Amino acid sequence: MHRNQLLFVTVLALGIGPSCADKVTAPPDPELLEPPSGPVARSARGNLRFKGPERINQDFAAALELRPDAVCLELGQYSCTGLVHNVALGGVDPYGPGLYESSGVTASTTPLAVERVAWAACTQRVDTDLATPAASVIFREVPLTGKKLASPDGAEVRGVIGLLTQRVLLRNPYRNEVERYVRLAKDIESTGNAEPARAWMQAVCFAILTSTESVFY
């Protein structure tokens, strides 16, 4: 074998090797951002844009590693963002009713449509991660005691919050966010829910996906 070829194969082996043997580990305890101590400067223009159906679908799919065409299907068959709630989410429908451009503002039913897409996406991610821990994407290695989180304020839980925040909002979480979602876990446990760990995973995923920071740009 030529010397260069040998070098190439060695580099390739080194590159692939570790990933093939990669063991699913809990997300690391995130580096927390500190909330600003004083008032935050207000945007003078406040020119926020709602993401709309395509971006929401793509962003949710990318963040949770879901197939874009399977993020949300009403009654298991009608695309939420492409058909049923497309216009409610700010989309257009030129070939049907001749709706060539969006009104440019969110409608009364838009928040509910976003929530439906988020619940559909989050339940899929949680179900898949819990069913196949070895291939879990987000909710991995979270210690459970029966159906409960073993430690609602443990490093693994904080790690999941951090990972979700990074994937959805593309930044590390603030300290108060982690604290609030840990409190959410405790609140859910106190409801007597039969599967509080699963419910928390769904709820924290939902809260981050449907936050204003997630759906506007």
| Residue among 96, 131, 134, 145 that touches other proteins (CB under 8 A) | 96
Q: Does 180 bind other proteins (CB under 8 A)?
A: yes
- Tokens 């969006």 identify what position? 102
Q: Which stretch binds other proteins (CB under 8 A): 60-68, 141-149, 154-162, 204-212?
A: 204-212
What is the distance between the alpha carbons of residues 84 and 194, in angstroms, rounded to a whole number?
32
* Beta-carbon-side half-sphere exposure of residue 213 (alpha carbons within 13 Å): 11
What is the distance between the alpha carbons of residues 124 and 115, in angstroms, rounded to a whole number?
14
Which residues lie below 8 Å from residue 190, measured CB to CB, with a gap of 6+?
none
Compute the least distance from the CB of residue 154 to other proteins, in Å.
18
Identify the burial level of 4 via C-beta atoms within 10 angstroms of its C-beta, where 0-12 means exposed, 13-18 middle and 19 or more buried.
exposed
Binding mask 142-171 for other proteins (x = CB under 8 A): ------------------------------
Segment 9 to 68, residues that bind other proteins, using CB under 8 A: 35-36, 39-43, 46-50
Q: Which residues pair with 216 in a beta bridge?
A: 50
- Total length of the chain: 217
Q: Does 211 bind other proteins (CB under 8 A)?
A: yes
| Residue among 10, 78, 147, 175 that touches other proteins (CB under 8 A) | 78
Q: Which stretch binds other proteins (CB under 8 A): 60-68, 138-146, 151-159, 197-205?
A: 197-205
Which residues lie below 8 Å from residue 131, measured CB to CB, with a gap of 6+?
none
CB contact at 8 A, 89 and 110? yes
**Chain residues that interact with other proteins, rule: CB under 8 A:** 35-36, 39-43, 46-50, 72, 74-78, 83-88, 93, 95-99, 103, 105-113, 115-116, 119-120, 123, 127, 174, 176-177, 180-181, 183-184, 187-188, 191, 193, 199, 202-204, 206-207, 210-213, 215-216
